[in-house]
Structure 1
């Protein structure tokens, strides 16, 4: 049966710690499970009281974080007045890996912190909080104020504290990252960034972000890793064999044998990459057009929660899967020219040719970190991703 990307959402309603029933299913315009704004709005209308979505409970069908029938848990702000169906789930005793915004008390604490910081800034909230996205990698909510919207972003323990990374980037290249209004560990209040996300790279003007990001990375290379995880090519080569043993049940016999052979080649590949003359530096970790925001004049880089210490080719290659071949050729050429201008004598083109297997090794390791850090009901978001990235690494190595 062919999979459809249509998502339906059923919402189980909790009030004062009790499961009262469910509303839905609703047809959602966005197929992505993590996009919960329209789900919260539809469920609130059906329940007759404002609801806040807490977490995904289960999903039937769909894959890759989209499609199928998703079941969510939401907390009600008061006793619902709408008709509720029987709840499709049983009461939950909790889980040690549950993220703080995935429970009623935890989400209330996040929002209370944001309200307190806004009051301190003289920008108290002027209306209801609007949930935008919530899943195991982040919770993003919009707080309206008289001076424009402010964004609360909360991230998990396995994410880097974004405010510290943004501070680094701002020292190297002012205006390249969002403005931090307040921060507390892995929660941050961000000023609004006008414009549109650059899915499809619609305008040539947004491509200046490639030059500005390369310049920032060249400047940041002298800082050293600090709080950033070591994801240098040598570190990836060292960590990969242990991951392969964990993934052995998910790989076929030939795939496992090929992956073991690749593991033996990675140290030499890391050495070749080092010979290209580009420095280890801060890497964004997910540097694709969906994390670039363009206002018609300047592009801002968003979402630094996957930042690490590594080779800049990781970011240089990241836009490719999101672009047409023609547009990728433009972005690739821009990246190569930027680094040649910054470091005469380096070989960025060769780096892009060498790096693909290591890029996929990086993502295999990162996806496994996600799975290790989240409760089982959230696993459908990332299930199979580490093994799939190993397969992509094998194809990339074969293509070389």
Structure 2
């Protein structure tokens, strides 16, 4: 009993619970106060941030976490990481300009990506150094500050797309600056892991998770896209929280070769949770949005199962990352992501958001199967004298 209570009150669990509450509140604010066109544009911007942050922020974060686990006491960036980040900021703004947005909005979207990278780096540092109390504080500010700013903005006037982006940017920078003493202009002293390679894998995964929303923006009506994005965002919050808890608690062990086996009961529990969360998501979307957006049950089930499969990939993913051999995984994830994009372009005009959900489910199943086969092959090679 004491062990279970300790696990439930661990900082990584508390941070995800607090973040989840703020995420639901933020979702309610966005879906109720933004008009349909502004919310649809926000969905596109969020997809761009997810992909761009995966291209640079996540890879840098994994490298910083690895360095921290090996004794580094600073958050520093290599020259190539700095150039890649600036290039990603530029591409992010230009991409948004092509799809939708004024010059001011494009600049804000680009700068917001920079805030993502800064916050990702701060969180990675405390995870790698196992400073879970600081992890809780940083995560709380990251998720809570945007909500506070949005509420103040709405109180002073109408909340717009611009206001929502500024609120998000303030939250990310505020969380990162909690560790300002650890940020350094010097180059990393250890840097034993390539952030470019790890970032490439993460980019492929986020393209898989987010590109469909960018494609759908051109092919379905805003209400349909908004309902799909809201259901996906709500369910993603649940399953990614579980994934983040596992990853943050085990990343240091993975890089130090101490990662144990995951429980089969946990896997069954996650799949059961997917079935339970499907009708919950339908009802929750309607309540949170004030009845404006509500997906049907089949769509919610498909999304929920896909995200459950994504969560189940966390243990073999960490094992793969710990091998520091990424050529095969990079080729596979980009092949899967490319197939997902092509499938959305071909099928979305006829099958809409349900087709997108089914393609994502199939893609996550393929990725999970590959990761398990990869971990088995690597374990076999290691065990051979």
Same fold per superposition (TM over 0.5): no
Higher strand content, 1 or 2: 1
* TM-score, structure 1 normalization: 0.28
* TM-score, structure 2 normalization: 0.29
Higher helix content, 1 or 2: 2
